[in-house]
């Protein structure tokens, strides 16, 4: 592999991991052992379902799906959307504009 291709591949890998990197502490982190889907996988699924910038994230027990979901606030074009991803199946459970009373 040429030196330029190697540098390009390294830069792509670093940028890709940064796009799904997450803080170590977030609301519901104590529930992570119950999840089958990682936070990184859920973040990727959420952004694929609704492109934008994740501004908030949590893992919570909530009705619907298997009862354990990642919830992401995603900002896009000045509007915030809530995207819920089932933490056990990876299925998108919610993809709606955030209401006037966000939770």
Range 24-97 classified under CATH 3.10.450.40: yes
From residue 31, how far is each of 27, 34, 74 by CA, in Å? Answer: 9, 6, 22
Burial 70-80 (b: 16+ CB within 10 A, else e): bbbbbeeeeeb
User: pTM for this structure?
Assistant: 0.72
**Structure confidence at residue 98 (pLDDT):** 80
Q: What are phi and psi of 26, to 5 degrees?
A: -155, 165
Confidence of residue 20 (pLDDT cuts 50, 70, 90): very low
Answer yes or no: is pLDDT of 25 > 50. Answer: yes
| Model pLDDT for residues 36-70, shown as the tens digit of each residue | 999 999 999 999 999 999 999 999 999 889 999 99
Answer yes or no: is pLDDT of 22 > 60. Answer: no
* Contact assessment for residue 88 and residue 36, using Cβ atoms and an 8 Å cutoff: yes
């Amino acid at each position: 592999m040429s030196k330029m291709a190697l540098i390009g591949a390294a830069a792509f890998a670093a940028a890709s991991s940064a796009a799904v990197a997450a803080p170590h502490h977030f609301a519901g982190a104590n529930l992570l052992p119950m999840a089958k889907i990682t936070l990184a996988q859920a973040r990727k699924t959420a952004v694929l379902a609704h492109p934008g910038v994740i501004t908030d994230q949590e893992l919570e027990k909530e009705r619907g799906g298997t009862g354990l979901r990642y919830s992401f606030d995603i900002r896009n074009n000045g509007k915030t959307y809530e995207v819920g991803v089932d933490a056990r199946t990876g299925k998108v459970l919610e993809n709606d504009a955030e209401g006037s009373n966000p939770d």
